[in-house]
Structure 1
Amino acid sequence: MDMKNLVEKIFEEGNKQGIGDMEVYYSAGSSLSLKVFQKELDGYSLSESEGLGLRGMYNGKMGYSYSEKVDESSIDMLVKNVKENATVIDSDDEEYIYEGSKEYRRVDTFNPALDQVEETEKIRFVKSLEEEAFKIDKRIESVETCVYGDGYGETIMSNTKGLYLHDKSNIAYTYVVVVAKENDDIKTGMAYRTGNDFAKFDPKEIAEEAVREALSLLGGKTVKSGDYPVVIRNSAAADLLEAFTGIFSAESVQKNLSLLKGKLGEKIGSEKFTLVDDPYMEEGLASKSFDGEGVACMYKKVVDKGVLKTYLHNLKTAKKDGIETTGNASKGSYKASLGIAPSNFYVEKGEKTLDEMIASMNRGILITELQGLHAGLNSVSGDFSLAALGFEIKDGKISRPVEQITVAGNYFELLKNIEETGSDLKFGLPGEAYIGSPSLKIKKLAIAGE
């Protein structure tokens, strides 16, 4: 289907029906998931999606509609639904179609080489990943999960103000969860990789990381309850940031759902804490040139050395605050309404290695995993109480694994108590692959054990 031709016909019909400014948002994509269990392909999923959304101004209100049929037969329905939707909208929030930015920086997030990898090669890889995990140590009793997946996405945005933007990206990911057993003690370890370069996925390296994690946790015991200096390892710190990302959204601030309201220009964290939103990050899995409203994205420090510099805005929230948008409008698909989301969102790394941070502590806890993140915290108050796994630190060295502990605190206080940021910046799995953090050394947190 010639999209430009279809878009013109949609706009033509919309004009006839009395709709003013209009925007078409087209998205298409596919995803593949392969799962192996006991040397056999245990799960295979291939899905494709395609559709377009139309939004337009009718009688002073913005109406929305969408269709999974990307052809001329959907035009009448799309236009009719925009008009009907606009008449029932009761929000006073002003919305409008964006005419386009002066300049868009080119962002290359599609790797043609990934597109050329044969499915048989992907299956061979994920089987090899399971096989490698069993080879490493006889205490590995089973491989609980072994998955490879990839996918691509394409977006076209066009409006009646002359804007026409196109974006295409792809991603691959893999993860493995192994189970180690020694006597009656059973522990799991996980390792993952994300990116769009299949050649960088090394099954042996990934398996070794998962096995090392599981074995290191064997023999874990709790600790005495109390306040401890803590190092939160990079992956766990990224998980915690992901759970609190919403507090930096202007929408949350304007709805009184963020304690950062009224804190612009104020110190909200330690000087060691800088939080970046970088849409141009090389190999970033959320890199892009424009946001969900067609606004050119921009690099920004949301928090710079502890000082809150900006919230994340779309056009609607920016107009409410009388400022320019930060280019953070989000639109998950052609069906989705507009929201706010960061691009590659991460805590800027420091210079200390994880080992150096551990060496600087006489006594403390290294937290490697936080559990129950969305049930055990309140993103408005910042309070959290989470089950955790990790290691006890004595005399600057890891002394033993720790389990059956709960770590409690307040996220806003935690930011002020960051003493050091590590050099080991790491991003999460797909779904959270745009959130990253290095390991963080925290002055103290409450640990509940025995």
Structure 2
Amino acid sequence: MKYTELKEEIFNKAKDKFDDYEIFINNINTSVVSTYNEQLNKYTISESGGISFRGIKGNMEGYAYSENVSKESIDYLIDMAYQSMIAVGEKEEIFIYKPNQEEKINIISQKSSISSDKKIEKILSMYDLAKLESEEVHQLDGQGVEIFEDKYIANSHNLEKYEENSYSYAYAYVILKRNGEMKSGMEFAFKDNFMDCDFEYIAKSAVKKAEREFGAKAVDSGKYDIVILNEEISSLLGSLSPAFSAKNVQKKMSPLEGMLGEVIASDKLTIRDLRSLPETNVIESFDDEGIETKDLEIIKNGKLLSYVHNMETASKDGIDTTANASRSYKSVSSPSIRNMVIDGGTLDFEGLLRKMNNGLLITSLQGLHSGLDPVSGVFSLPCNGFLVENGEIKRAVNQIILSSNLKEFIKSIDEVGTDRRITLDGSYVASMLVKNISISGI
């Protein structure tokens, strides 16, 4: 494996000071093409990541990390881990994965071989495509991103695993200008391969979204049935996903504490955490403690079946880990959802609007960092969208606020659409019809 030689040298030195030891390496290589109208704004290639070392002796453990993934960092990692171990002292319990037999895995992805000139050409082309769609295009910010990520973990209990993932996304942010008024629209695509992105669709769809925003105004405050676009469902539920972490549940920092096994949502809602992201080759075959991952049902037909666990939280609850340990090379393990996937329903997007009949289509949520409390699950978010009458979009709506809480929101889901797509935060979700939600006009 790629890092085996480095691991062997670290472990050979570590055994003089520790009984058990572990290394964790994570590197991310990112290339970004950014354009402004018909000009290249920047083209960058960057690398981030590093290595962490953990040493265990008796009931003590120490950590150290470095951005230098090379032999030059070995002495530093071991010495710093030993010093931190002595400083912290004994712990009540220490967790390190001890497989019943040797576990090795080596997953190699197909790295991109697309030239930088080709990437730049494709992103720049979106401006011309947008201008063909509308003469009102004032500005187009385009971006194409390619990411290659690798992860490696090995410990003194015959564990050694390595995997690679590569994926790409592209988006266009368009501003239209009409009689001094400006409106914006954004469209994106998430693919395994950069060249699989439909750049014409991205550009033209962004223009169409901006065009629909003209003439927007608020609506009266009250209770509304709403359809929330799949992208915004992803952002909202992603921001609320810490509620499913067993660590937060055990710390009494989740609105779902004590609700395991209960019906907490509409029977239309099924949420899964999958080891692979649908419609892609992206896979997480092992979690950040080295344990083989598996598909997990979190909510099935409205019933809360599981929180997500790492080894520590599972031990506290007396169950097996769900293999949801997540960390960077700088941090310790904490459980989190990998790939949130919502089961699709039976109605397409237009069908959701027809069933709603009268209400609001929500196409943009803002303030997720400031207007949402993941501990209580309460949120109050500025949003934009469209007024829907008799199942048809009538006019744009802005300057409104959507208010609810996690438990109320998921119980109010009336239908889930068939329009599932991968969003930029790595979820796979559909639009939803949600009943009787509070909307305030600004």
TM-score interval w.r.t. the shorter chain?
Answer: over 0.9
Rounded Cα–Cα distance in structure 2 between residues aligned with 1:109 and 1:126: 28
Rounded Cα–Cα distance in structure 1 between residues aligned with 2:51 and 2:106: 23
- Stretch moving more, 80-89 or 387-396: 80-89
1:222 aligns with 2:218: yes
1:448 aligns with 2:436: no
Aligned CA-pair RMSD: 2.1
Please give the secondary structure, in 1, of the residue aligned with 2:259.
coil
1:368 aligns with 2:369: no
**Shift in Å, 1:9:** 2.0
Q: In the alignment, is the contact (CA less than 8 A) between 1:286 and 1:343 conserved in 2?
A: no
**Shift in Å, 1:266:** 0.3
1:379 aligns with 2:374: yes
Task: Tell me which residue corresponds to 1:55.
Answer: 54
Q: Unpaired segments of 5 or more residues in structure 1? A: none
1:436 aligns with 2:431: no
C-alpha change, 1:35 and 1:161, in structure 2 (3 Å) is same
Rounded Cα–Cα distance in structure 1 between residues aligned with 2:229 and 2:108: 28
C-alpha change, 1:69 and 1:239, in structure 2 (3 Å) is closer
1:137 aligns with 2:134: yes
Q: 1:186-205 counterparts in 2 under 5 A?
A: 186-205=182-201
Q: In the alignment, is the contact (CA less than 8 A) between 2:105 and 2:160 conserved in 1?
A: no
Task: Tell me which residue corresponds to 1:294.
Answer: 290
Deviation per CA, 1:398-421: give whole Å up to 9, x if none: 111111111111121011110100
**Shift in Å, 1:61:** 2.1
Task: State which of 397, 403, 416 in structure 2 corresponds to 1:402.
Answer: 397
Task: Tell me which residue corresponds to 1:84.
Answer: 83
- Stretch moving more, 64-73 or 274-283: 64-73
Q: In the alignment, is the contact (CA less than 8 A) between 1:63 and 1:83 conserved in 2?
A: yes
Q: In the alignment, is the contact (CA less than 8 A) between 1:134 and 1:142 conserved in 2?
A: no
Rounded Cα–Cα distance in structure 2 between residues aligned with 1:51 and 1:267: 42
- Stretch moving more, 179-188 or 122-131: 179-188
Rounded Cα–Cα distance in structure 2 between residues aligned with 1:107 and 1:24: 16
Please give the secondary structure, in 2, of the residue aligned with 1:272.
coil
Please give the secondary structure, in 2, of the residue aligned with 1:222.
coil
Rounded Cα–Cα distance in structure 1 between residues aligned with 2:29 and 2:75: 27
Task: Tell me which residue corresponds to 2:336.
Answer: 341
Aligned length: 442
Letter in 1 for 2:3: M
Q: Normalized against structure 2, the TM-score is what? A: 0.95
1:325 aligns with 2:325: no
Task: Tell me which residue corresponds to 1:268.
Answer: 264
Q: 1:96-245 counterparts in 2 under 5 A?
A: 96-100=95-99, 110-112=109-111, 115-143=112-140, 145-245=141-241
C-alpha change, 1:284 and 1:251, in structure 2 (3 Å) is farther
Rounded Cα–Cα distance in structure 2 between residues aligned with 1:165 and 1:133: 45
Rounded Cα–Cα distance in structure 2 between residues aligned with 1:374 and 1:72: 40
Q: In the alignment, is the contact (CA less than 8 A) between 2:419 and 2:430 conserved in 1?
A: yes
Q: In the alignment, is the contact (CA less than 8 A) between 1:101 and 1:296 conserved in 2?
A: no
Rounded Cα–Cα distance in structure 2 between residues aligned with 1:131 and 1:101: 59
**Shift in Å, 1:27:** 2.5
Letter in 2 for 1:55: R
Letter in 2 for 1:279: R
Q: In the alignment, is the contact (CA less than 8 A) between 1:274 and 1:304 conserved in 2?
A: yes
Task: Tell me which residue corresponds to 2:15.
Answer: 15
C-alpha change, 1:287 and 1:84, in structure 2 (3 Å) is same
Q: In the alignment, is the contact (CA less than 8 A) between 1:264 and 1:308 conserved in 2?
A: yes
Q: In the alignment, is the contact (CA less than 8 A) between 1:109 and 1:170 conserved in 2?
A: no
Letter in 1 for 2:47: E
**Shift in Å, 1:108:** 6.5
- Stretch moving more, 53-62 or 281-290: 281-290
Q: Unpaired segments of 5 or more residues in structure 2? A: none
Q: In the alignment, is the contact (CA less than 8 A) between 1:158 and 1:165 conserved in 2?
A: yes
C-alpha change, 1:104 and 1:159, in structure 2 (3 Å) is closer
Q: In the alignment, is the contact (CA less than 8 A) between 1:28 and 1:50 conserved in 2?
A: yes
Q: In the alignment, is the contact (CA less than 8 A) between 2:192 and 2:280 conserved in 1?
A: no
Letter in 2 for 1:49: S
1:355 aligns with 2:350: yes
Rounded Cα–Cα distance in structure 1 between residues aligned with 2:318 and 2:267: 29
Q: In the alignment, is the contact (CA less than 8 A) between 1:109 and 1:288 conserved in 2?
A: no
- Stretch moving more, 250-259 or 55-64: 55-64
Q: In the alignment, is the contact (CA less than 8 A) between 1:156 and 1:164 conserved in 2?
A: yes
Rounded Cα–Cα distance in structure 1 between residues aligned with 2:106 and 2:280: 10
